[in-house]
Amino acid sequence: MTLLITSPYDKYRQSSVKTSTPAQLVVMLYDGAIRFVRTAMDGLSKQDYEKTSLNFGKAQSIVSELMSTLDYSYEVSNNLYSLYEYTNFLLVEANIRKSPEKAEEAIGYLTDLRETWLQASKIAAGQVQPESAHG
């Protein structure tokens, strides 16, 4: 029998996932994808291509997960799908061509999308009034 010991940080992360709203979970996915792309870029700069490939792959998995969970009852989902598809293409290109520029472009899209979801989650939680409500 193995004893599983988790750090307080792991326990916090697990509980934060369990108590997060769907929009907050999406923001966490973006955080992870951005972190993996940055780690891959670090691997690129050090010519550690195993680290590069592994982390670009993790980022692609997150983007693919985001694509698979889109709700097409909302018109914006088609646009998001195209953006996710292009972001995944950039990640593949960054990995194959060892291109920090492609990775930076992907991070730009992921960061913009993260900010949009963060604002949406705050509005949904009633923490922020939408800009148009300020008059």
**How does pLDDT run across 37-96, given as a tens digit for each residue?**
999 999 999 999 999 999 999 999 999 999 999 999 999 999 999 999 999 999 999 999
**How does pLDDT run across 87-121, given as a tens digit for each residue?**
999 999 999 999 999 999 999 999 999 999 999 88
Contact, 36 vs 59, CB < 8 A?
Answer: yes
Question: Which has the closest alpha carbon to 59: 81, 79, 88?
Answer: 88
